[in-house]
Amino acid sequence: MKDVSIIVLDFGSQYTQLIARRLREERIYCEIVPYFTKVEEITAKNPKGIILSGGPASVYDEDAYEVDKAIYDLGLPVMGICYGMQRIAVDFGGSVIRSDHHEYGKAELYINEEHGNVSPLFESCENGRIVWMSHSDRVDVLPEGFAPIAYSDNSPFAAIANEEKRVYAMQYHPEVQHSEEGYLMLRNFARKICGVTEKWDMGHFLKEQIAKIKEQVGEGKVLCGLSGGVDSSVVAALLYEAIGDQLIPVFVDNGLLRKGEREQVEEVFKVNLKVPLVVADASELFLERLAGVTDPETKRKTIGHTFIEVFEAEAKKHSGIKFLAQGTLYPDVIESVSVKGPSETIKSHHNVGGLPDWMDFELIEPLRELFKDEVRKLGRELGLPESMINRHPFPGPGLAIRIMGDVNKPDLNLLREADVILLDELKASGYYTRTWQAFAVLLNVKSVGVMGDNRTYDNTVCVRVVEAVDGMTATFAHLPHDLLERISRRIINEVDGINRVVYDISSKPPATIEWE
C-alpha cells in the first residue's frame, strides 16, 4: 500500500475534494477516505497527519457522523474544518450550539498574537485576510487545553488549537479559492506541523504506475477504451509505455461524437502516437438502446452498459485479454460513489463502479487517484502533444447528455453543427485555451422567431463555457459580447432548425458543468 502524507476524513462537504487538490498543488500527497474508516486502515497508510473535512450535518444530530476516536491517540497532528472543527470540540469535551448569527460567505480573519507568538498554522499569513465561512453551528465552550488562535467579527473561535497535542480546528474553509491564504494554512499544517518533507510529483507517479501496471498485467493483454480525450489518451500512452504490444486500444464510435471526431482520433493515435488502434463502429447499437430514453441517469447507465458490452465483444476477437483499462479520475470517484463517504451522489459516471459480474476482466484504472490538471501534467511527462493535452473535457456519454430528452439522429446532427461553430469561434478568438470546457446544449425547447418575413418555430441552443482548475468547481466564462454575438449569429444563420441561442451564466456549485 502506498504511503499517504495526509489523510482527509470525508464528512460530506462538497468542498472535501478541494482539500486534497490544494495539498497536491503543494506537492503533498493526500487521499480522501470516509469518516467511518477504522484507525487500523488509516495507520496502514502511514500518514503524517489527519484532516477532518466539513459536512452538512450537526454534531448534535441523532445520527451525527463520528470518527473512530482512536485517531486522537495516534500522536499524529489533527486538523478539523467546519464540521470537523465542531467534531473535535465535542470529542475533546467542549460544546457546540446553534449560532445566532449565521456566517455564509466572506469574513475577515484576525490572528491572535499572544505575547508575540503566532500559531505555526498561520506562519507567514497576514492579519485581516478574507476567509470563506459556511456554517450555522458554532463552538460555544472550548475543550480543556484549547485556545483561540484566530477570530472573525461573528466567530470568537474562528480557529482554535491545542498546541501541545497538535490538534487544530478552523470554522472557515481554507480549501476554497475565496480564502485568500487558505492554501498557506494547509501547507503550514502539512509541512510545519506534520513534518511532511516529501515532494510528490508526476514523475514519481509515472514511475510508480509503470511498475504497478507491469506487475499487475504480467504476460496478459489489456483492452483499453479510447475516446480521444485527454484521460483515455493518457491512459493509452501510459499503458503502451508500460506493456507495449500487450495493449489492445479500442475506439468505439458510439454515434454520440462531435463532428469529425472519429477521424481526428484515428489520426492522433495511428499517425502521431504510432499506437495500433482498433475502431469498432457501434453507433446503431447505441442509438437503438437510447431510443425513447429521456432520464439523464438512465442515459448514462445505458451508455455505460453498452460500452462494456461492445468491449467484451471486441475482446473475444483477441486471445489472452485479462484486463480492461479505463480513464476514471478522482473527481469521478468522489462524485459517483456515495458509499465512499457521506457526500451526496451528484451523478453517476459511466466508467466508475467496477465491472458487472458477467465480465471476467480485471479493471485497470491508473488515473483513479488524479485530478484533471494532474492528468495533463502526466501527459506531458509521457510526451503527448499539447494539442491533445489541452483538449477540453468531453464526457463519455458524449452528446447524449447534451440533448435534453430523446436522443435521435436529426437532433444529434443539429447539435453537432452548432457545437463545431462554437468551438471554431473560441479557437479563432483565443478563448479555447483560456477556458476549461465549452459546448452547446440542445434544449428541445422551441420558440417563435422571425427569419426574413417568415415566422419560425424552431429549437433553442444553450452555449455553456466555463472556467475551472479541476472541474470540481467552475464559473461561467465572461466572454466578450462581440464574441457571443458572433457565435449566436453564425449558429442561427448556418444551422437550419435553430432560431435562438442563450448563454448559461450559472456556476458550479450549485449547477453542474454538464446539463445532465
pLDDT tens track for 487-510: 999 999 999 999 999 999 999 988
Query: Band of the pLDDT at 45, cuts 50, 70, 90?
Result: very high
Average pLDDT estimate for 67-94: 94
CA 421, 424, 426, 432 torsion: positive or negative? Answer: positive
Q: Which residues are annotated as a binding site for ATP?
A: 227-233
Other CB atoms within a 10 A radius of the CB of residue 446 amount to 14
Q: Residue 143 in 3-state DSSP?
A: coil
Closest CA to 418 of 481, 502, 495: 495
- Range of lowest pLDDT (8-17, 385-394, 430-439): 385-394
pLDDT single digits (tens) 205-221: 898 899 999 999 999 99
Check pLDDT > 80 for residue 512: yes
Query: Band of the pLDDT at 327, cuts 50, 70, 90?
Result: confident
Closest CA to 465 of 510, 411, 425: 425
Query: Among residues of the chain, what percentage have pLDDT more than 90?
Result: 55
Mean pLDDT of the chain: 87
Check pLDDT > 90 for residue 334: no
* Helices assigned H by DSSP within 218-329: 230-243, 261-266, 283-290, 296-315
Domain spans of the chain, in order of start? 6-193, 202-389, 408-503
**Winning range, highest mean pLDDT, from 218-232, 253-267, 273-287, 420-434:** 420-434
**Winning range, highest mean pLDDT, from 21-25, 226-230, 271-275:** 21-25
Check pLDDT > 60 for residue 335: no
The catalytic residue among 103, 125, 135, 173 is 173
Check pLDDT > 90 for residue 344: no
Q: Residue 54 in 3-state DSSP?
A: coil
Query: Band of the pLDDT at 346, cuts 50, 70, 90?
Result: very low
Give the span between the Cα atoms of 332 and 391, in whole angstroms.
Answer: 18
pLDDT at 102 (0 to 100) = 60
Q: Which residues are annotated as a binding site?
A: 227-233
pLDDT at 337 (0 to 100) = 43
Average pLDDT estimate for 61-71: 89
Q: What is the CATH number of domain 408-503?
A: 3.30.300.10
pLDDT single digits (tens) 120-162: 999 999 999 999 887 667 788 999 999 999 998 878 899 999 9
Strand arrangement, sheet containing 362-364:
278-281, 247-253, 221-226, 321-325, 362-364
Check pLDDT > 90 for residue 391: no
Average pLDDT estimate for 112-119: 76
125 is catalytic: no
82 is catalytic: yes
**Who contacts 176 (Cβ-Cβ below 8 Å, separation ≥6)?**
15, 18, 132, 182, 473
Bridge partners of residue 278, in order along the sequence: 250
pLDDT at 48 (0 to 100) = 97
pLDDT single digits (tens) 293-308: 999 999 999 998 998 8
Beta strands (DSSP E) in 379-453 are 437-451
Query: Among residues of the chain, what percentage have pLDDT more than 70?
Result: 91
25 is catalytic: no
Q: How far is CA 449 from CA 160, 412, 426, 501, in A?
A: 61, 22, 26, 11
pLDDT at 350 (0 to 100) = 44
Query: Which fold does the domain 6-193 belong to in CATH?
Result: Rossmann fold (3.40.50)
Check pLDDT > 60 for residue 342: no
Residue length of the chain: 516
Are the CB atoms for 324 and 364 separated by under 8 Å? yes
pLDDT single digits (tens) 415-446: 999 999 999 999 999 999 999 999 999 999 98
Q: Number of C-alpha atoms within 13 angstroms, CB side, residue 298?
A: 11
Give the span between the Cα atoms of 151 and 153, in whole angstroms.
Answer: 7
**More confidently predicted of 36 and 343:** 36
The answer to whether 202-389 and 408-503 have equal CATH topology is no
pLDDT at 339 (0 to 100) = 35
pLDDT at 153 (0 to 100) = 81
Check pLDDT > 60 for residue 115: no
Domain at 202-389, CATH class: alpha beta
Residue 463's identity, in one-letter code, is V
Give the span between the Cα atoms of 471 and 509, in whole angstroms.
Answer: 11
Q: What is the distance of C-alpha 387 from the center of its chain?
A: 22
Check pLDDT > 90 for residue 286: yes
